[in-house]
Amino acid sequence: MDADQGLFVPLILGIVEGLTEFLPVSSTAHILLLSELLGFKDPANTFAVLIQLGAILAIITVYFARLWTLLRDALSGKGYAWRFALGVALASIPAALAGVLAHDFIKSVLQESMLVICLMLVIGGVILLIVDRLPLRPRYDDIYTYPVWLYAVIGIFQMLALVPGVSRSGATIVGSLLFGTDKRSAAEFTFFIALPIMAGAFVYDLYKNIDVITADVGTNILIGFVAAFAAGALVVRYLLAFVSRFGFTPFAIWRILVGGIGLIGIVALGWGG
């Protein structure tokens, strides 16, 4: 990351990270595409991962009461809390293991391909649009009582998000809806499984790339972190009400538009070349 790029760019990128992290639009795709457009240099694509800590803290802040209740009930031996903890683990472990094994390939190959990112935005948008309009009959509307097998299925779908442009929340929401959840709880569960996945990615990426984090780079990350926290808190607070009213179609259309514009830029202007 080039310190001469000023503080405005990392601020904008942090806001975009916070706004898109929990939406089914792929925050990674938005950060990488916007970085390309703004000429933001990010060696090893570390900035996008490390500022996710702001989004993690946004979840903890907004959901603090529920997280504290879950922890308290688990420590007091209540079965539902331990069952839910198992569910979060089942939904998180597959993507975590695959992410570690494919870390270098994802960073050095997939995240360097603007074509892959834009294609995944468009394809994922079309899939999300179709699934959102299917006449599905929800059987599960409480994240605490999802069947154990459903947690595992959601975990398998989350692995798809290792491909930049797919979207972690988008993949898990599609999987959840196809296997019987309602839209609100599908979106809500993505908040909880984001915590271990994003925290793990933060720690692992920090460990792998600590040598490239200079004082100037750290300043950029700090600015992006604060912006991501503020924007992410707004999204976490209001997303479920929005989804309950409008569904996921607006996000699907947005994905298709952004991906389409990116593809035009690649072909006509040589973006990412």
Is residue 118 very low, low, confident or very high in pLDDT (cuts 50, 70, 90)? very high
- pLDDT, tens digit (0-9, with 9 covering 90-100), for 202-246: 788 777 777 777 777 778 888 988 999 999 999 999 999 999 999
User: pLDDT value at position 3?
Assistant: 43
Q: Where are the domains of the chain?
A: 3-269
Q: Which H, E and C letters describe 2-61, residue by residue?
A: CHHHCCHHHHHHHHHHHHHCCCCCCHHHHHHHHHHHHCCCCHHHCHHHHCHHHHHHHHHH
Task: Look at residue 4 and tell me whether its pLDDT is greater than 60.
Answer: no
- Reported pTM: 0.88
Q: What is the mean pLDDT of residues 192-210?
A: 82
Question: 40-70 pLDDT, tens per residue?
Answer: 876 656 777 778 888 889 999 999 999 999 9
